[in-house]
Amino acid sequence: MQTLRMNSALLPELLEALKEWGRVWAPVERAPDVFSLEVIDDDVRRARPEALRTIVPFKKLLLKPRFTMLSGRTGEAPTDPLDNDAGAQVLFGVHACDVHALKILDLLYLTDYADPYYQRNREQLVVIGYGCWPDEHCFCESMDTSSVDDGFDLFLTPLEGRFLVAVGTSVGDDIVRANPNLFEAATRQDTRDYLRRLREREEAFSLEIDVTDLPYVLELKKDDPVWDELGKKCLCCGSCSMVCPTCSCFNVMDEVGPGGDSSRVRIWDACLYRDYAVVAGGHNFRADRADRVRQRYYHKQEAFVREFGMPSCVGCGRCIENCPTGINVVEVFQYVRGEL
Ligand code: SF4
Ligand code: SF4
């Protein structure tokens, strides 16, 4: 992997140059300390890549919360209106945990059967990573997702007055070659400062979770009273699923208009919603809140591990920050382990 340096003052110039590769998305401050992911082509200085979390993560760039898969009229063959096709996009300011989340979505949507709606946008996505600093909700260090070696095109780590820039792909290399005025070779001092930053960052994490043998522990704890307690506390509002970068439940519905127009739409869904597991005939496999809460945790930390060899939680802390009743994933697993 090639490693370069870039003066911090040149960041707006890099962002302008990235427009050549697609619409540029970045975290933007909407209100004090509230960040959303927006297109910044009109004013690249709005980018706030150091912001720890946008409320809704990047998954909305790949699969819109609601889109039409097929449309047509009665008696005619339906066609794909390309409603979900976003074209070329550049995602700027992706932190290491979200790069891992993107890799998890790739496993989900591109293994065995490739989801064409996801795949079309994914193939045109340029990923520019950005080194962050943890707060009290981050536990990516425990999930082994606090740093990345691949999955990005460029990755910028801020050092004093400059960035260390890792080039991860040929697209990243193209960006560098097209903008030789922005980059120069990294020095030994840059590497030393980068390694010191890594060490200091490791020590800055205050939240930890022990995931050793967690799938096995969960298998033993299926009937633990903690799930009933959580079922009483959880509103099943689905906020944690909507903000989670790896939650990917969806529903497909057919809608028929009075004039014979019909469409098949796909919308974000959540296994926490009451009707998610209702089947034909009306039976609900997870009618109890406790069952639905348990399902979310088990899917992330047990079923996904069995299928893909890793959990599907990257420790980003979004669900902790956004739960209206204060349910904290780390505390839940500490309790399950008997540590609380
Ligand atoms: S955000 Fe909290 S209350 Fe809402 S579904 Fe998730 S765990 Fe339950
Ligand atoms: S479960 Fe929570 S901490 Fe884990 S990836 Fe999803 S939002 Fe982030």
In angstroms, the Cα distances linking 8 to 160, 161, 183, 184 are: 8, 5, 11, 13
Residue 326 CA: nearest ligand 1 atom is 2
**Residue of minimum CA distance from atom 4 in ligand 2:** 313
Whether residues 51 and 129 fall in one domain: yes
- Could you tell me if 165 and 276 lie in one domain? no
Residue 227 shares a structural domain with residue 320: yes
Which structure tokens are listed for 43?
């004013």
- Residues, the chain: 340
Residue where a domain stops, chosen among 203, 227, 242:
203
* pTM for the whole structure: 0.95
Residue appearing with tokens 């998890």 = 104
Per-residue pLDDT, 11:
98
Confidence (pLDDT) at 84: 97
Counting as low any pLDDT under 70, the low residues of the chain are: none
| pLDDT tens for each residue of 22-70 | 999 999 999 999 999 999 999 999 999 999 999 999 999 999 999 999 9
Indicate if 233 and 276 belong to the same structural domain.
Answer: yes
Q: Which ligand is nearest to the CA of 322?
A: 1
165 and 234 both lie in a single domain: no
Q: What is the pLDDT of residue 298?
A: 94
Report if residue 6 sits inside a domain: yes
pLDDT at residue 94, rounded to an integer? 97
Rounded to 10°, the helix 289-298/226-233 angle is: 110
Ligand 1 contact, 295 CB (< 6 A) = no
166, with CB counted inside 10 A (0-12, 13-18, 19+), is buried
Report the pLDDT value the prediction gives residue 259, as an integer from 0 to 100. 84
Same domain, 196 and 250: no
Residues 19 and 132 in one domain: yes
Query: Which residues does ligand 2 sit against, CB inside 6 Å?
Result: 243-246, 300, 313-319, 329
Q: What is the pLDDT of residue 75?
A: 82
How far apart CA 265 and CA 81 sit, in angstroms, is 11
Work out whether the CA dihedral 193, 195, 199, 204 comes out positive or negative: positive
**Does residue 70 belong to any structural domain of this protein?**
no
Ligand 1 atom 1: residue of nearest CA: 323
Alpha helices in the chain (DSSP H): 11-18, 59-62, 96-110, 116-122, 170-178, 188-203, 214-220, 226-233, 239-243, 289-298, 304-308, 318-322, 329-336
H helices, E strands: number in the chain: 13, 11
For residue 24 the two structure tokens come to 């540029």
Tell me which residue has its CA closest to atom 1 in ligand 2: 313
- State the pLDDT at residue 339: 80
Containing structural domain, residue 220 = 214-336
Secondary structure class of 292 (helix, strand, coil): helix
Same domain, 31 and 177: yes
Instruction: Verify that 57 and 199 share a domain, yes or no.
Output: yes
Measured CA to CA, the distance from residue 186 to residue 6 in angstroms comes to: 9
Q: How many domains does the chain have?
A: 2
Residue 272 near ligand 1, beta carbon < 6 Å: yes
What is the Å distance from ligand 2's center to 233 Cα? 18
- C-alpha span between 325 and 236 (Å, rounded): 10
**209 belongs to a structural domain:** no
Model pLDDT, residue 86: 97
Closest CA to ligand 1's atom 2: 323
Does ligand 1 come within 6 angstroms of the Cβ of 87?
Answer: no
Q: How many CA atoms lie within 13 A of 214 on its CB side?
A: 26
The structure tokens listed for 195 are 């390694």
Side chain identity at residue 44, one-letter code: V
Q: State the Cα–Cα distance between residues 122 and 232, nearest whole angstrom.
A: 39
Residues 166 and 236 in one domain: no
Query: Would you say the CB of residue 234 lies under 6 angstroms from ligand 1?
Result: yes
- Ligand 1 pocket check for 290: Cβ under 6 Å: no
Ligand 2 atom with minimal separation from the 300 CA: 1
Q: Are residues 17 and 94 in the same domain?
A: yes
